[in-house]
Structure 1
Amino acid sequence: MEHAEAELVGRAAAGDADALAEVVRLLRDPMYRLALRMTGNVADAEDAAQEILLRVLGHLDTWRGEAKLSTWAYRIGVNYLLNLRRASPQEAVGLSLDDFAGGLRDGLAEEEYRGPEAAVLTREVRLTCSQAMLQCLSREERVAFVLGDVFELGSADAAWILDISPAAYRKRLERAKSRLGRFLNATCGVANPAAWCRCSRRVDAAIAAGRIDPRRPVLAAHPASAAERQMAHLHDAAAVLRAHPDYTLPEARRAAIARILHSNRFPLLDR
């Protein structure tokens, strides 16, 4: 596998169009899933994933096999996302998990939503809420949690991606897990059946606030490469986030990247 990966990257770095396309195929969805968890927004994640992929392709000739291609690409992606100027709404106002919990309680209806597409909209609320919850962490805590407990990378690889020591990474991850765990255990009825919040009782408020569009659910209808994962341990914060489907980069953005690769504006193909 390592030899095949090295051979593929070598051909891509030399400007082989088929090899470049294969590298894109291998990395586009993982980079998109990383961007989506970090930005919390589909449109921003599409933009970020495209930029990350182009940066990866533009630096392929610097890859020396010091890590797997995907791990190396994550490092480029994480660096880009940690320095992204655009902030999510939660980041922009400095929303804490306590503030977020207060907003959830204020918008909680007495009864479950029973309107049209109740199951789809309840799922949309859950997926949107868990994305927003991540945005209440600092970017450093968020990426540590996403790499370790959502994408399940080992501490050595995650630390290499973040360019910190494994001990520092584990400390950062534990801080993020502790904060999310306390929030979910106290608040989320998915993670803890004894907690007070229920997705089905948040639908009306989410629609009224414009957080979800009942005519066009975003995450519940998002293209995915696999069925939604089951949550075996609902008390585990990571299980709630891992329960998202394996989202795939939307076809329109895939086509846009392909057009860039086959245009005269991409330098690798001019060699």
Structure 2
Amino acid sequence: METESEPSADAGHGPDERELALVARAIDGDRAAISEVVVLLQDPIYRLALRMVWRPADAEDATQEILLRVIGKLGTWRGEAKLLTWAYRIGVNYLLNLKRRTPQEAIELSLDSYGAGLKDGLAEADYRGPESELLTHETRLNCTQAMLQCLAREERIAFVLSDIFELSSTEAAWITDTTPAAYRKRLERTKKRLGNFLTAACGLAAPQAFCRCSRRVDKAIDLGRVDPHRPAFAAHRITPGGRGVAAAAQQMSTLRDAAAVLGAHPDYAAPQAKMDAIAGLISSGRFPLLD
């Protein structure tokens, strides 16, 4: 990551007393406290990873690696930011330097070329096949994930942290190891690009735009981007008590801007199998805790 000058370590509000006590217990080797830290961070970190790597399976792997790094570095946390903000910093550094590339990154697909592709195979009428509502949601969620992948990683993370996770520029700059002014400039450029694209292409953001999710379902299935038998996003497990697909879509429909369209995903929960694997590794004594 680029560093233009040393950003302030006081990123937003500091930790509360409960976080300080929890981490102190974890550093002392309390495995229940370590597990509580994992539970506290796992879903937000998974949602961050999912927005950066697109596919749930890749996000699962990234989340596991990030959480293990967080646990391994707990002893270095000095309360300079909230625990989750500090964990985001570790996660962002990992995700920006991840060697694995998404399909969009691999072919260096731009927003302009992605928009042109949306016109190909756009049906004249809404999809009326089995599970039409579910698959229309799946097409929308998959498409907005793909849009993000058309951005450079630094642009993508700037937009995700600010307009989807709603962090302040001070917090986001600290997480990305840059200055608030430089971060805001990058975010402004990114939002302008996304706004222009959505206004031209996405009917959810602009009524005059040409694309409609319900008219892309057949093409998305034909291309293998949507699996009608195993939808990756619309049927994804959510955090208990979190926002589901319908609630996210309702929020989007009242706002109609880039942040609403790209942010209208459910509150995804990290897959339990991966979290169980982390817990097992911690309990095994084979993981070098708190180096």
TM-score tier (shorter): over 0.9
Letter in 1 for 2:285: N
Offset of residue 268 of structure 1: 2.3
Aligned-partner residue type, residue 2 of structure 1: D
Q: CA deviation at 1:234?
A: 3.7
Unmatched 5+ stretches in structure 1: none
Is 1:125 matched up with 2:146? no
Look up the match of 2:270. Answer: 249
CA separation in 2, counterparts of 1:56 and 1:268? 10
Pairing of 1:8-157 with structure 2 (within 5 A): 8-157=22-171
User: Match for residue 9 of structure 2?
Assistant: none
* CA distance in 1 between partners of 2:262 and 2:279 (Å): 30
Matched residues, number: 270
Q: Distance in 2 between matches of 1:232 and 1:61?
A: 44
Q: Is 1:203 matched with 2:217?
A: yes
Cα deviation per residue 1:110-133 (whole Å; 9 max; x = unaligned)? 221111001100000000000000
Contact 1:40 1:88 in 2 (8 A): yes
Alpha-carbon distance in 2 for matches of 1:262, 1:140: 36
Partners of 1:125 and 1:212 within 8 A in 2: yes
Q: Amino acid of the residue matched to residue 63 of structure 1?
A: W
Measured in 2, the distance between the counterparts of 1:261 and 1:94 equals 39
Aligned to 1:236: 257
Contact 1:190-1:234 at 8 Å conserved across structures: no
Deviation at 1:66, TM superposition (A): 0.6
CA-CA distance at 1:152 after TM superposition: 0.1
Q: Give the equivalent residue in structure 2 for 1:264.
A: 285
Cα distance between partner residues in 2 of 1:17 and 1:149: 35
Give the distance between the partners of 1:223 and 1:139, measured in 2 at CA. Answer: 26
Return the letter of the residue paired with 2:125: E
Higher relative contact order (CA 8 A, sep 6+): 2
Question: 2:284 & 2:205 partners in 1: Cα distance?
Answer: 48
Output the amino acid matched with 2:276.
A
Identify the residue that residue 162 of structure 1 maps to in structure 2: 176
Distance between the aligned counterparts of 2:221 and 2:195, measured in 1? 27
TM-score w.r.t. length of structure 1? 0.97
Kept in 2, the 8 Å contact 1:155–1:166? The answer is yes
In structure 2, give the amino acid aligned to 1:93. Answer: I
Matched AA of 1:248: A
CA distance in 1, matches of 2:253, 2:263: 10
Map of 2:4 onto structure 1: none
Q: CA RMSD, aligned part only?
A: 1.3
Give the whole-Å Cα distance in 2 for the aligned partners of 1:20 and 1:205.
46
Match of 2:235, as an amino acid?
A
Structure 1 range deviating more: 226-235 or 97-106: 226-235
Matched, 1:190 2:211: no
Contact 2:200 2:209 in 1 (8 A): yes
CA deviations over 1:61-118 (Å, ceiling 9, x no partner): 0000111100000000000000000000000100000010011001211221111001
Unaligned runs of 5+ in 2: 1-14
